[in-house]
């Protein structure tokens, strides 16, 4: 193998992903068409609050904050949404051009010693059962365990993978440019039946131009002539336009990859979703995709988790981008300049002066309200981990400071020293901590305090994956299912679960075979919720016996008492060896649990 993972594209998404993978010890390389990080054309102008938080979690937010301008940037259809009252350390956005964002991020990736193979294109790939051969434009190829296409909206990786890109056709096409004009234009914003147009003064005599084109459907790169024609169509003159320093065309096409994964090939960022730039959400969504995917891919590559963990990337991030597409489509509709739409827009603006809608839309656009669907439970479940002030034996600490290494964190708010995570010390950091303040979530306000003395919280390593996990809600995919992750669920929580007699749910198809006489399942013990659910379902089905397979013998020590509690008796069988999904031999110790009389 030339690398564990090859990332195609050193744009915002590819850089962030490569950094995350490297932090997790993965051998990652980037292939990039551009010779350097220079960007031609106009792209993102800033970051939303959640992206700043993500960078803060890696200890690099200050690098960006020191070069940009904090500002209230969230908005919907032209209505500014102030987030200064939100419970985050960054209740603002950051005005920072994409070229500067990429430069700073590339500096971080460089410090992490990620190789970038520049000035070559990925032209295709072939995947087989053990890896992917990636073909390059210079005639060479690279082999890796996994390939991730972060190669933008026209993604070669997506096309070569045969992944559909369904969505909405463009209805409007806009040119944005920095140019010189021979004549004075009409400064400011001008809306007409075609759409929005604007002229603004920039430094050095440059003029910022935005003009909606009469025709949609250009597929080539925009030219000065295209710009001139578009200006004439609107203003009757092109104001003597010349010497563009940047010229970009964008449309309101809204498309999303049908799947973010095809075997060993994954998509992230614009390769997975494109939409009109209104609301400034594209780069932000891509960076957050990368952070969701990074730790999962690392767990799989490092043999800690089965590759089914990668399916949770699509499950969690596809709905996020789908929601972004939806809100941008709605905003584009509201930009249309006719009296009907203007009336509708006025009503939306009015609605957004009311506290509840204002708060909800602000939380949506800033990315602070994203919640992954991990089933029912506490309002915090599946949401971002707040950056709490903690009191620890080593003094005061912020939660985000514990996440700089992108390593999972287990926060024990209960009795100090009570938890023993010896089998996982290589991959989980345990901190005994106290937090005195309230728990507040943007868009939700204060939520009931999650913690009682005997409970723990489990943070997945990354933003938005830091689902708060109460004992019985073992985080999806966080701990390797076949490696006995249940132990982290805490013995106490299991007792609680059993004694509360909670209604277990979630028996997924294929996980167990039920008959009146018994049930057999493998890999079951990796998730206490499912284990208990199966036992309860087995009891309802009058099953005579359940056989539970688990990889780590100690799990039995935890599971057995819980089963007794549920009325089952357990008998440990002798061990054998089997193959985990990650192709590493693991111990496999079945436990036979006869049903209660
Ligand atoms: C006018 C405009 C304004 C915008 N404003 C905002 C904003 O304010 N906020 C916001 O969040 N987003 C904004 N966006 C969107 C944002 O620019 C994109 O979402 C973002 O660039 C996506 O990052 P990416 O890394 O996924 O893809 P890209 O930035 O497209 O990066 C892809 C990389 O892959 C490389 N590449 C492509 N194909 C290959 C190949 N075959 N082989 C090797 N390398 C390859 C490219 O050279 C590039 O470096 C705006 C976009 C436009 C057009």
The reported pLDDT for the residue numbered 437 is: 79
Residue nearest to atom 6 of ligand 1 (CA): 44
Residue nearest to atom 3 of ligand 1 (CA): 43
Q: What are the residue boundaries of the structural domains of the chain, listed by start?
A: 3-45+97-167+255-334, 172-251, 389-478, 492-594
Tell how far the Cα of 208 is from the centroid of ligand 1, in angstroms: 20
Cβ of 45 below 6 Å from ligand 1: yes
For the domain covering 3-45+97-167+255-334, report its CATH number: 3.50.50.60
Q: Which atom of ligand 1 is nearest to the CA of 283?
A: 11
CA 287 distance to own-chain centroid? 7
Residue nearest to atom 27 of ligand 1 (CA): 152
Tell how far the Cα of 150 is from the centroid of ligand 1, in angstroms: 9
The reported pLDDT for the residue numbered 569 is: 52
Q: Which atom of ligand 1 is nearest to the CA of 156?
A: 41
Tell how far the Cα of 567 is from the centroid of ligand 1, in angstroms: 57
Q: Which atom of ligand 1 is nearest to the CA of 174?
A: 1
Cβ of 248 below 6 Å from ligand 1: yes
For domain 389-478, say whether CATH 1.10.3470 is its number.
no
User: What global pTM score does this model have?
Assistant: 0.79
Tell how far the Cα of 130 is from the centroid of ligand 1, in angstroms: 30
pLDDT in tens, 116-146: 999 999 999 999 999 999 999 999 999 999 9
Q: For residues 548-564, b (16+ Cβ closer than 10 Å) or e, as one string?
A: bbbbbeebbebbbebbe
The CATH class for the domain spanning 172-251 reads alpha beta
The reported pLDDT for the residue numbered 413 is: 80
CA distance 206 to 200: 9
Domain 172-251 shares a fold with domain 389-478? no
Cβ of 280 below 6 Å from ligand 1: yes
CA 345 distance to own-chain centroid? 31
Cβ of 14 below 6 Å from ligand 1: yes
Cβ of 283 below 6 Å from ligand 1: yes
Asked whether the beta carbons of 248 and 179 are under 8 A apart, the reply is: no
Tell how far the Cα of 260 is from the centroid of ligand 1, in angstroms: 17
CA distance 413 to 439: 14
CA distance 365 to 164: 27
Backbone torsions φ then ψ of 542, nearest 5 degrees: 60, 30
The reported pLDDT for the residue numbered 443 is: 75
Residue labelled with tokens 């054309």: 41
pLDDT in tens, 188-241: 999 888 888 999 998 889 999 999 999 898 878 899 999 999 999 999 999 999
- What residues of the chain score a pLDDT lower than 70? 447-597
The reported pLDDT for the residue numbered 498 is: 27
The reported pLDDT for the residue numbered 577 is: 30
Cβ of 53 below 6 Å from ligand 1: no
The reported pLDDT for the residue numbered 21 is: 98
Cβ of 8 below 6 Å from ligand 1: yes
Which residues, listed in sequence order, are joined to residue 69 by a DSSP beta bridge? 95
């Amino acid at each position: 193998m030339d690398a564990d993972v090859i990332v195609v594209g050193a744009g915002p998404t590819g850089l962030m992903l490569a950094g995350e993978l490297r932090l997790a010890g993965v051998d990652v390389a980037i292939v990039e068409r551009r010779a350097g990080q220079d960007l031609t054309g106009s792209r993102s102008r800033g970051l939303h609050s959640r992206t700043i938080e993500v960078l803060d979690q890696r200890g690099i937010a200050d690098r960006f904050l020191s070069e940009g301008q904090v500002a209230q940037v969230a908005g919907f259809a032209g209505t500014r949404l102030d987030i200064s009252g939100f419970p985050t350390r960054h209740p603002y956005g950051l005005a920072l051009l994409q070229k500067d964002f990429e430069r700073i991020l590339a500096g971080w990736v460089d410090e992490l010693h990620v190789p970038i193979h520049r000035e070559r294109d990925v032209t295709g790939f072939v995947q087989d059962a053990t890896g992917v051969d990636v073909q390059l434009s210079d005639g060479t190829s690279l082999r890796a365990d996994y390939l991730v296409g972060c190669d933008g909206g026209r993604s070669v990786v997506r096309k070569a993978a045969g992944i559909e890109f369904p969505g909405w056709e463009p209805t409007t096409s806009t040119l944005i440019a920095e140019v010189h004009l021979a004549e004075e234009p009409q400064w400011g914003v001008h809306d007409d039946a075609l759409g929005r147009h604007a002229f603004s003064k920039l430094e050095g005599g440059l003029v910022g131009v935005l003009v909606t084109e009469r025709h949609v459907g250009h597929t080539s790169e925009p030219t000065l002539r295209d710009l001139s024609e578009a200006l004439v169509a609107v203003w009757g003159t092109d104001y003597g336009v010349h010497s563009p320093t940047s010229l970009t065309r964008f449309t309101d096409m809204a498309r999303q990859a049908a799947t973010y994964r095809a075997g060993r090939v994954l998509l992230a960022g614009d390769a997975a979703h494109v939409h009109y730039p209104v609301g400034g959400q594209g780069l932000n969504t891509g960076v957050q995709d990368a952070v969701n995917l990074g730790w999962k891919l690392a767990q799989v590559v490092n043999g800690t988790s089965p590759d089914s963990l990668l399916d949770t990337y699509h499950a969690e991030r596809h709905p996020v981008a789908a929601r972004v597409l939806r809100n941008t489509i709605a905003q584009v509709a509201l930009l249309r300049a006719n009296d009907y739409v203007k009336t509708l827009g006025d009503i939306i603006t009015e609605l957004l002066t009311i506290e509840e809608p204002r708060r909800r839309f602000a939380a949506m656009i800033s990315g602070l309200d994203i919640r992954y669907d991990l089933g029912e439970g506490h309002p915090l479940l599946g949401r971002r981990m707040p950056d709490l002030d903690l009191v620890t034996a080593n003094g005061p600490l912020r939660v985000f400071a514990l996440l700089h290494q992108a390593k999972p964190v287990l926060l024990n708010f209960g009795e100090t020293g009570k938890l023993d995570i010896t089998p996982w010390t290589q991959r989980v950091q345990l901190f005994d901590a106290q937090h005195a303040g309230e728990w507040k979530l943007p868009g939700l306000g204060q939520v009931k305090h999650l913690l009682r003395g005997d409970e723990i919280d489990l943070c997945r390593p990354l933003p938005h994956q830091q689902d708060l996990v109460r004992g019985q809600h073992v985080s999806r995919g966080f701990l390797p299912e076949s490696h006995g992750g249940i132990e982290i669920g805490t013995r106490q929580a299991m007792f609680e679960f059993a004694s509360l007699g909670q209604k277990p749910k979630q028996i997924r198809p294929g996980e167990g075979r039920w008959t009146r006489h018994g049930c057999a399942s493998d890999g079951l013990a990796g998730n206490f919720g499912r284990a208990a659910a199966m036992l309860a379902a087995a009891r309802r089905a009058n099953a005579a016996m359940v056989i539970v397979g688990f990889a780590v013998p100690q799990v039995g020590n935890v599971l057995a008492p819980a089963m007794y509690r549920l009325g089952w008796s357990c008998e440990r069988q002798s061990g054998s060896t089997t193959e985990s999904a990650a192709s590493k031999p693991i111990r496999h110790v079945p436990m036979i649990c006869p049903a209660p009389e």
